[in-house]
Amino acid sequence: MQIRVNLMGGLKSQSPENNTLDLPEGSTIDDLLAALDVDPAFVQTVMVNSKPQKDRSRVIFVDDELTLLPPVGGG
């Protein structure tokens, strides 16, 4: 299934082509992070359909749009 994913900040360099990724049905947010080769420690917030999602074992569905945000730093 095709998933739309937006990576922000320092994660943007790992964005898939056209911001879409093909994952098997039943994949979770953790599976998505592994497919993108993103260290989960560098993802502060995961948004699914514009809503924060803390449970990374949540199953992703074909119409879901995910946004990954790194920790915010600076001062």
pLDDT above 70 (res 75): no
DSSP 71: P
16/66 Cα distance (integer angstroms): 12
Which CB contacts under 8 angstroms, 24+ apart, belong to 53-60? 53/29, 55/29, 56/28, 56/29, 56/30, 57/28, 57/29, 57/30, 58/28, 58/29, 59/26, 59/27, 59/28, 60/3, 60/23, 60/27, 60/28, 60/29, 60/31, 60/32
Identify the CATH assignment for 2-69 out of 3.10.20.30, 3.20.20.10, 3.40.630.10, 3.10.105.10.
3.10.20.30
Domain boundaries, the chain: 2-69
pLDDT digits (tens, 9 = 90+) for 36-55: 999 999 999 999 999 999 99
Could you read off the pLDDT of 16-31 as tens digits, one per residue?
Answer: 899 999 999 999 999 9
